[in-house]
Amino acid sequence: MKKLRKTVFVIAGYNTVSFGSGRKEFHPKKPRPGLEHYVKEAGKGAIGQVNDVKNIDEGVIGNFMAARFNRQGNLPGFFPMIDESFLYKPATRVEGACASGGLALVFSIKTILADLADTVLSIGVEVQNTVKSIYGADILGGAGHYAGERKQGHAYFFPSKFSDRAGACFEKFGKDKVREAMSLWYVQAIKNARKNPKAQEYHNSIEDLYAAAMTPPNPKVFCEYINVYDCSKVSDGASALIFASEEGLKKLGVSKKDACEVVSFGQSEGDLTSPPPDLTKLDTSQRAVNLAYERAGLSSKDIGVAEVHDCFTISGLLSVEAAGFAEYGEGAEFVKAGKTNPDSEIPTNATGGLVGFGHYTGGTGVRQAVDLLHQLTGKAEDCQVKIDPNRPYGLMISMGGNDKTVAAMILKKAA
Amino acid sequence: MNLDERLENVSVLGAAGKMGSGIAVLIASEMAKLKIKNPDKLYRLNLIDVNEKVLDGLLAYIKAQITKVAEKSTVFLRSAYADRADLVENREIIDAFVYDAFSLLRPGTDLGAAKNSKVVFEAIIEDENIKAKVLTELNNLCSKDTFFLTNTSSIPIGFLDKRVELSGRLIGYHFYNPPVVQKLVEVITPSTANKELIEFSTELGKRLRKKLVPANDISGFIGNGHFMRDGLHAIGEVEKLKGEHSLPGGIYIMNRVSQDFLIRPMGIFQLIDYVGVDVFQCILNVMRTHLGDESLKSELIDRLVEKKVFGGQRPDGSQKDGFLKYEKNRPVAVYDIEKGEYIAIEENWKENLDSKIGDLPEGFNPWKKLLTDPKKGDKLSSYFENLKKADTLGAELARTYLARSKEIAKELVSSGVAKSEDDVNAVLTNGFYWLYGPINDYI
Ligand SMILES: NC(=O)c1ccc[n+]([C@@H]2O[C@H](COP(=O)([O-])OP(=O)(O)OC[C@H]3O[C@@H](n4cnc5c(N)ncnc54)[C@H](O)[C@@H]3O)[C@@H](O)[C@H]2O)c1
């Protein structure tokens, strides 16, 4: 595994609110901002943190399904709308289902490593409340194999895929233990989100979170092994940040104390046309994380803070194993012991994660990177965790579909 | 004939009305599900109404509602349409179901369309003579094993059955408004009812996933038996209050006491407006006649109807003016019958009355908030404990109201209208969305 051939920095992170049900100001029948609004807010939020936007060389935008949610393609064309200085500059849209944001990060890093740009504005966006969730399920189902599995699939296609994973874990590792851990994952997610004003669950006022999370599943209207609290919600939002080379950082006038360094990244792809080899394991995620560790010469022992892709509570548990924090089959125990809580061993998803913060699918990977950047540079406000100086690295996993497209990235505070 | 066979050909009379349109949606959904199972069978749902113009609006309503039904049952529909390779996404499956449901609808004004129906739902205007006339025509038209389910709010079923000579083929199947949403159906079984019809109506209730509450065949049954007397109590209190607070003031006070102090979904006068002042009068009249109870009368209601102050809802669901005047479905003024005009609920006027009503007792939570609160039982108990002790006009009126409501409910049981106290409570909590039944320990 080759180390990165030069240092790539990441700066100027910005998240919009994750908008959707649960936010007080959300009303399903009231008009809502569209794609343009979110792209602009996030883009401006990032470029507002550098001296001169003209010094940004190009743009990358991650998005999953705007063509269906918003009937909009050709997203690179939104960059000049953010700021006129992007007019005629290169811009690219990348897609890899819910890992689209992760791919936007990776594509930006590669562009800088290829010496084709010194600075790249990287955005991820999704606006999904345009359709009811039963139709949104169709659209998100596009992350699976349409010809091979959609017809046989469930009305709520992806929830049921992860419900099956939960069912497999119940059987293999013990139902009570895994179920309790899933519920504790939910409790942790909401408690973290309540500290983050931009989180979709910021206003969550459920008194007994654990009891809610233990609601028995209702397979007649939803899934067999999971309930709605196990799922991330339908969200609108965008995130943005800027990647820069050493020269790029100087050009943008940003100090290293406000920057992180990309220590490494790993990318991995599963076969969309075949089912996961083992439902109790996120093997593609594990592969991506291991690549990132190898490339950096690090291991899970070096990670002090993490952002994992908990599109469902069960994916949270399985990600903890894929990241190597817990051994195979021991993710549930790890979570039950509170080792992912903000003040414990490996604070994970300290701003709420997908379950608590929200999940604007194609933007989530960028959102995770923004939150890691804020944690590592001490800007996470009420969500700030203490980072063990012996483990100064942050890991993120951006996962698309049923563990098919995965990008992992390791950051540390720039020196 | 079993339930499935009966559902092959059904008619709804008054299909364009509030109740008929909802019943049409419920039955069309079930028939469409049968159609998927038995694609070769012929299914027909006749939507009959004298008002041709509103039938167009009916189809739009049915489409929107069936779509909602399909959206909620997509898990089931995906398995039902498993053999249809052309239907892959939820959207396609939902559209197919709506189309299948539509293909069995036959809207029209001709009563003759009901000729082959095995089940007829009657939901036309609440008028004994018109109902009897229409049912007589149908009795001559349909085969002698056709079942008739009437939605009447007050007319005794046995009386109608006898008058029309249906020989036990009529049962009271009293949906609540709107039938698509309301879980409750009051089933009024006259002593003459055909045994097979009784079984059919029970099975149908299960199929429609409704909560069936039995009521005896005594005019008003449980729901209106309580509601009418409950409304008359409030009107009686207004008569007492009007000396000091004027008539509009009294209406305002009782409306607020019933909504806030009693934590009901809406104030009593808003509820009468919602149902329709004229409908309220009509039901009172039917009950008075059949029960021979002269107390079931209100001069105030009669005068309002005379002045054409009807309440009720517009086709778009918005509230028409009655006791109260509405903007965006919120009361903004109170009717002054002496002047024949509405008195705006202005800040000063309202504050003055509110100060006379007094503060809400400690522990008050609005109805909407408690509705989904898992601890609502405890919260209600402690609130009503405080209401018992409170020394305000509002609390006093509320206590009298609670006691009267309980008395009415108990009389429904003792006079044989309801089979049990639980049944009365079930009707009020399900059909009227009360948080607690009228028979309780709060007073
Ligand atoms: N609205 C309620 O809250 C409610 C609740 C329970 C029961 N009910 C009862 O349901 C019945 C219908 O009430 P509604 O509120 O739906 O009334 P509605 O006025 O909304 O509807 C009645 C419909 O019947 C039609 N109609 C009248 N005469 C007809 C005839 N001869 N042939 C065919 N159609 C005819 C009218 O055109 C109208 O569309 C009444 O018996 C009423 O007491 C009403």
| Strand bridging mode A9-15 / B170-175 | unpaired
- The helix/strand/coil state of A57 is coil
Residue B89: inside a domain: yes
**What secondary structure does DSSP assign to B4-15, as a single string?**
HHHTTEEEEETT
Q: Looking at the structure, tell me whether residues B161 and B273 fall in a common domain.
A: no
Whole-number Å distance, alpha carbon B409 to ligand 1 midpoint, is: 27
Residue (of B431, B54, B2) closest to B223 by Cα position:
B431
Q: What is the pLDDT of residues A12-31, one digit of tens each?
A: 999 999 999 999 999 999 99
Residue B142: inside a domain: yes
| Any ligand 1 atom below 6 A from CB of B184 | no
Residue B438: inside a domain: no
Q: Looking at the structure, tell me whether residues B148 and B258 fall in a common domain.
A: no
Q: Are B151 and B279 in contact (CB under 8 A)?
A: no
**Helix, strand, coil percent content, chain B, rounded in steps of 5:** 55, 15, 35
B319 band by pLDDT with thresholds 50, 70 and 90: very high
Residue (of B159, B153, B122, B154) closest to B137 by Cα position:
B122
Q: Are B336 and B357 in contact (CB under 8 A)?
A: no
A99 HSE (CA, 13 A, CB side): 29
Identify from A65, A130, A132, A138 which residue to disrupt to test chain B contact, counting B C-beta atoms within 10 A and taking the largest count: A138
| Any ligand 1 atom below 6 A from CB of B275 | yes
Our CA-based measurement puts residue B75 at a distance from the nearest CA of chain A, in whole angstroms, of: 5
Interface check for A68 against chain B (CB to CB < 8 A): the answer is no
Interface check for A186 against chain B (CB to CB < 8 A): the answer is no
Out of A135, A154, A219, the one facing B91 most closely (by C-beta) is A135
| Any ligand 1 atom below 6 A from CB of B130 | yes
Which tokens go with A222? Answer: 């939803």
Q: Mark yes or no for CB contact B89/A221 under 8 Å.
A: no
Domains in chain A, start-ordered, CATH in brackets? 9-132+235-258 (3.40.47.10), 153-233+264-413 (3.40.47.10)
Interface check for B90 against chain A (CB to CB < 8 A): the answer is yes
Look at ligand 1, atom 37, and give the residue with the nearest C-alpha.
Answer: B51
Interface check for B71 against chain A (CB to CB < 8 A): the answer is yes
Domain range enclosing B62: 3-215
Q: Looking at the structure, tell me whether residues B183 and B237 fall in a common domain.
A: no
Q: Which amino acid is at B41?
A: K
What is the predicted pLDDT for the residue at A150?
97
Contacts with A146 from chain B: Cβ below 8 Å? 88
What is the predicted pLDDT for the residue at B329?
87
Q: Mark yes or no for CB contact A132/B71 under 8 Å.
A: yes
What is the predicted pLDDT for the residue at B314?
84
Beta strand segments in B182-328, E: 184-188, 211-215, 324-327
Q: Is the pLDDT of residue B313 over 90?
A: no
Whole-number Å distance, alpha carbon B32 to ligand 1 midpoint, is: 24
Q: Mark yes or no for CB contact B78/A155 under 8 Å.
A: yes
pLDDT (mean) for B378-405: 97
| Any ligand 1 atom below 6 A from CB of B268 | no
Which tokens go with A230? Answer: 């196990």
Using the structure block, give the residue that is written with the tokens 């009655």: B322
Q: Which amino acid is at B380?
A: L
Q: Mark yes or no for CB contact B75/A138 under 8 Å.
A: no
Residue B25: inside a domain: yes
Using the structure block, give the residue that is written with the tokens 């179901």: B97
Out of B71, B72, B88, the one facing A151 most closely (by C-beta) is B88
pLDDT (mean) for B321-340: 94
Which tokens go with B5? Answer: 């066979």
Interface check for B94 against chain A (CB to CB < 8 A): the answer is yes
> Quick one: which atom of ligand 1 is closest to the CA of B48?
33
Residue B190: inside a domain: yes
Mutational test site, ligand 1, from B12, B13, B18, max ligand atoms within 8 Å of CB: B18
Q: What is the pLDDT of residues A330-379, one digit of tens each?
A: 999 999 999 999 999 999 999 999 999 999 999 999 999 999 999 999 99
The residue in chain B having the minimum alpha-carbon distance to the alpha carbon of residue A133 is B71
Q: Is the pLDDT of residue A1 over 70?
A: no
Our CA-based measurement puts residue B66 at a distance from the nearest CA of chain A, in whole angstroms, of: 15
Q: Looking at the structure, tell me whether residues B109 and B23 fall in a common domain.
A: yes
Query: Which of B215, B245, B263 lies at the terminal end of a domain, its last residue?
Result: B215
> Which backbone phi and psi does A411 adopt, to 5 degrees?
-120, 155
Q: Name the average pLDDT for chain A.
A: 97
Q: Looking at the structure, tell me whether residues B110 and B151 fall in a common domain.
A: yes
Residue B442: inside a domain: no
Please report, rounded to a whole number, the percentage of residues in chain A having pLDDT higher than 90. Answer: 98
Using the structure block, give the residue that is written with the tokens 């044989």: B416
The residue in chain A having the minimum alpha-carbon distance to the alpha carbon of residue B67 is A134
Residue B240 region, left (φ>0) first, then alpha (ψ -120 to 50), else beta?
alpha
Residue B85: inside a domain: yes
Cα B77 vs. chain centroid, distance in angstroms?
Answer: 29
Q: Is the pLDDT of residue B382 over 80?
A: yes
Whole-number Å distance, alpha carbon B125 to ligand 1 midpoint, is: 4
Which tokens go with B288? Answer: 């008075």
Q: Mark yes or no for CB contact B78/A135 under 8 Å.
A: no
How does DSSP classify residue A96? B
Q: Are B104 and B44 in contact (CB under 8 A)?
A: yes
Give yes or no for a cis peptide into A389 (omega within 30° of 0). Answer: no
Q: Is the pLDDT of residue A2 over 90?
A: no
pLDDT (mean) for B253-263: 98
Q: Is the pLDDT of residue B105 over 80?
A: yes
Helices assigned H by DSSP within A253-408: 283-296, 313-322, 331-336, 353-356, 364-376
Q: Mark yes or no for CB contact B71/A154 under 8 Å.
A: no
Contacts with B94 from chain A: Cβ below 8 Å? 134
Q: Mark yes or no for CB contact A134/B88 under 8 Å.
A: no
CA distance A345 to A5: 32
The residue in chain A having the minimum alpha-carbon distance to the alpha carbon of residue B77 is A155
Residues 6+ apart with CB under 8 A from B125: B14, B131
Interface check for A137 against chain B (CB to CB < 8 A): the answer is yes
Q: Mark yes or no for CB contact B88/A146 under 8 Å.
A: yes
Which tokens go with A163? Answer: 């419900």
Q: Which amino acid is at A135?
A: Y
CA distance A60 to A107: 8
The count of domains in chain B is 2
Q: Is the pLDDT of residue B374 over 90?
A: no
Whole-number Å distance, alpha carbon B17 to ligand 1 midpoint, is: 5
Q: Looking at the structure, tell me whether residues B175 and B287 fall in a common domain.
A: no
Q: Which amino acid is at A224?
A: E
Q: Mark yes or no for CB contact A135/B72 under 8 Å.
A: no
Q: Give me the CATH number covering residue B242.
A: 1.10.1040.10
| Any ligand 1 atom below 6 A from CB of B24 | no
Residue B279: inside a domain: yes
Helices and strands (H and E) in chain B: how many? 18, 11
Q: Looking at the structure, tell me whether residues B230 and B204 fall in a common domain.
A: no
Which tokens go with B276? Answer: 């329709």
> Quick one: which atom of ligand 1 is closest to the CA of B134?
31
Q: Looking at the structure, tell me whether residues B265 and B409 fall in a common domain.
A: yes
CA distance A155 to B77: 9
Q: Give me the CATH number covering residue B203.
A: 3.40.50.720
Q: Looking at the structure, tell me whether residues B158 and B274 fall in a common domain.
A: no
Interface check for A146 against chain B (CB to CB < 8 A): the answer is yes
Q: Which amino acid is at B146?
A: T
H/E element, A413: strand A405-413
Q: What is the pLDDT of residues A237-273, one digit of tens each?
A: 999 999 999 999 999 999 999 999 999 999 999 999 9
Question: At CA A223, angle to CA A222 and CA A224, rounded to 5?
Answer: 135
Q: Looking at the structure, tell me whether residues B359 and B398 fall in a common domain.
A: yes
H/E element, A214: none
H/E element, A67: helix A66-69
Beta strand segments in A1-43, E: 9-15
Interface check for A148 against chain B (CB to CB < 8 A): the answer is no
> Which backbone phi and psi does B159 adopt, to 5 degrees?
-60, -45
Q: How far is CA A202 from CA A25, A39, A136, in A?
A: 12, 22, 23
Whole-number Å distance, alpha carbon B280 to ligand 1 midpoint, is: 14
Residue count (chain B):
443
Our CA-based measurement puts residue A328 at a distance from the nearest CA of chain B, in whole angstroms, of: 33
Using the structure block, give the residue that is written with the tokens 């039901």: B283
Query: Which of B181, B198, B215 lies at the terminal end of a domain, its last residue?
Result: B215
Lay out the sheet containing B170-175: strands in order across: B105-108, B44-48, B9-13, B119-122, B147-150, B170-175, B184-188, B211-215
Out of B72, B75, B89, the one facing A138 most closely (by C-beta) is B89
Which tokens go with A347? Answer: 């604070």
| Any ligand 1 atom below 6 A from CB of B380 | no
| Strand bridging mode B330-336 / B324-327 | antiparallel
What is the predicted pLDDT for the residue at A3?
86
B362 HSE (CA, 13 A, CB side): 7
Our CA-based measurement puts residue A169 at a distance from the nearest CA of chain B, in whole angstroms, of: 23
Residues 6+ apart with CB under 8 A from B408: B225, B226, B229, B230, B233, B438
Whole-number Å distance, alpha carbon B308 to ligand 1 midpoint, is: 19
Lay out the sheet containing A9-15: strands in order across: A91-94, A58-62, A119-127, A236-244, A9-15, A260-269, A405-413, A393-400, A303-307
Which tokens go with A311? Answer: 């599109």
Q: Looking at the structure, tell me whether residues B342 and B301 fall in a common domain.
A: yes
| Any ligand 1 atom below 6 A from CB of B110 | no
Residue count (chain A):
415
**What secondary structure does DSSP assign to B315-363, as a single string?**
TTSPBPPSSEEEETTEEEEEEETTTTEEEE--HHHHHHHHHHH-PPPTT
Mutational test site, ligand 1, from B120, B124, B186, B319, max ligand atoms within 8 Å of CB: B124
| Any ligand 1 atom below 6 A from CB of B177 | yes
Query: Which of B215, B243, B274 lies at the terminal end of a domain, its last residue?
Result: B215
Which tokens go with A126? Answer: 């999704």
| Any ligand 1 atom below 6 A from CB of B131 | no
Interface check for B86 against chain A (CB to CB < 8 A): the answer is no
Q: Which residues, in sequence order, are bridge partners of residue B344?
A: B333
Whole-number Å distance, alpha carbon B23 to ligand 1 midpoint, is: 11
**What secondary structure does DSSP assign to A134-147, as a single string?**
HHHHHHHGGGS-II
Q: Looking at the structure, tell me whether residues B140 and B242 fall in a common domain.
A: no
pLDDT (mean) for B294-316: 93
B317 band by pLDDT with thresholds 50, 70 and 90: confident
Q: What is the pLDDT of residues A119-131, one digit of tens each?
A: 999 999 999 999 9
pLDDT (mean) for B374-383: 94
Residue (of B413, B424, B3) closest to B206 by Cα position:
B3
Identify from B67, B76, B90 which residue to disrupt to test chain A contact, counting A C-beta atoms within 10 A and taking the largest count: B90
Interface check for B74 against chain A (CB to CB < 8 A): the answer is yes
> Quick one: which atom of ligand 1 is closest to the CA of B131?
31
